Amino acid sequence: MIYEIDEALRSLIRQDALPGSDVEVVFDAPTKDWASRRNTPTVDVYLYDIREDLRRRERGMINDYDSHGRVVDRHLPPRYFKLSYLITAWTQRPEDEHRLLSATLACFLRHDAVPAELLEGLLAELALPVAITVGLPPPEDRGFADVWSALGGELKPSLDVVIAVPIDTGQRRPAGPPVSEPVTITAGGLGGWPGTETRQVRQHREGQAGPRRDRRRRARPRGDGKS
């Protein structure tokens, strides 16, 4: 899944932000050692955080149908994960880096989701939108300065791009065969009469109701009035 998103982002940046350019698009960690070895214009798309988007989690099961409209199995809804990318430009001049960042920002602003034709594998099979957000404030528990400190590099202009990726959990439950006969409910052991179909049970009870009341009356005869 992550590899498919990487390739989709690489294609999107090359086609939309850098058409006809010889600028490289890589996914390396922009550490100080890495930066010192760069000698060609580069756009670095570094994946630095993966976490589930709990706001999009759904409950229940989803039915899968065959060509006759019958349920063949059920599966859990996809779970959404946010892939956060730190995008930086690397050239010999800050002005050129700013131009690359500007073109990349405009590219992502033109797309609310990753174009479907760039998705492959399981993401293409799901046929769900893969949303893109750019430049949003980071979560309270994480700042960009902390990311640069962890990388051991110097703070640099960057774009924060978050991709909301739906992922199939793979959890499926097979469904039973379709019902071919009507449902019958039986009951028995009440008052000594044998078990029978529910509707017949009601008729039996109604038919026996009168005699039972008579028996109760006979069991409690009235007095003759003598003291």
Is there a contact between 198 and 188 (Cβ–Cβ < 8 Å)? no
Q: Say yes or no: 115 and 211 in one domain.
A: no
In a domain, 49, yes or no: yes
Q: Please give the Cα distance from 125 to 66 (Å, whole number).
A: 17
Q: Which domain holds residue 194?
A: 186-219
Q: Say yes or no: 11 and 119 in one domain.
A: yes
Q: Say yes or no: 89 and 57 in one domain.
A: yes
Name the domain count of the chain.
Answer: 2
Is there a contact between 4 and 123 (Cβ–Cβ < 8 Å)? yes
pLDDT at 41: 95
Q: Say yes or no: 33 and 101 in one domain.
A: yes
In a domain, 180, yes or no: no
Q: Say yes or no: 134 and 196 in one domain.
A: no
Q: Say yes or no: 151 and 212 in one domain.
A: no
Q: Please give the Cα distance from 115 to 117 (Å, whole number).
A: 5
Q: Please give the Cα distance from 79 to 169 (Å, whole number).
A: 7
Beta bridge partners of 164: 82, 131
In a domain, 33, yes or no: yes
Give me the tens of pLDDT residue by residue for the chain, a chain 227 residues long: 899 999 999 999 999 999 988 999 999 999 989 988 988 999 999 999 999 998 888 777 777 777 777 777 776 788 999 999 999 999 999 999 999 999 999 999 999 999 999 999 889 988 899 999 998 877 666 666 778 888 887 788 999 999 999 988 877 777 777 677 777 777 665 565 555 545 444 444 444 444 444 444 444 555 554 54
pLDDT at 107: 96
Secondary structure of residue 183 in the 3-state scheme: coil
Q: Say yes or no: 37 and 116 in one domain.
A: yes
pLDDT at 184: 75
Q: Say yes or no: 98 and 26 in one domain.
A: yes
In a domain, 179, yes or no: no
Q: Say yes or no: 98 and 157 in one domain.
A: yes
Secondary structure of residue 217 in the 3-state scheme: helix
Burial class (CB in 10 A: 0-12, 13-18, 19+), 218: exposed
In a domain, 181, yes or no: no
Burial class (CB in 10 A: 0-12, 13-18, 19+), 202: exposed
Q: Say yes or no: 124 and 193 in one domain.
A: no
In a domain, 215, yes or no: yes
Instruction: Give the distance, in angstroms, between the CA of residue 215 and the centroid of all CA atoms in the same chain.
Output: 66
Q: Say yes or no: 23 and 135 in one domain.
A: yes
Nearest residue to 100 (alpha-carbon basis) of 39, 14, 184: 14
In a domain, 9, yes or no: yes
In a domain, 225, yes or no: no
Tokens found for residue 196: 């029978």
> Other C-beta atoms within 10 Å of 141: how many?
6
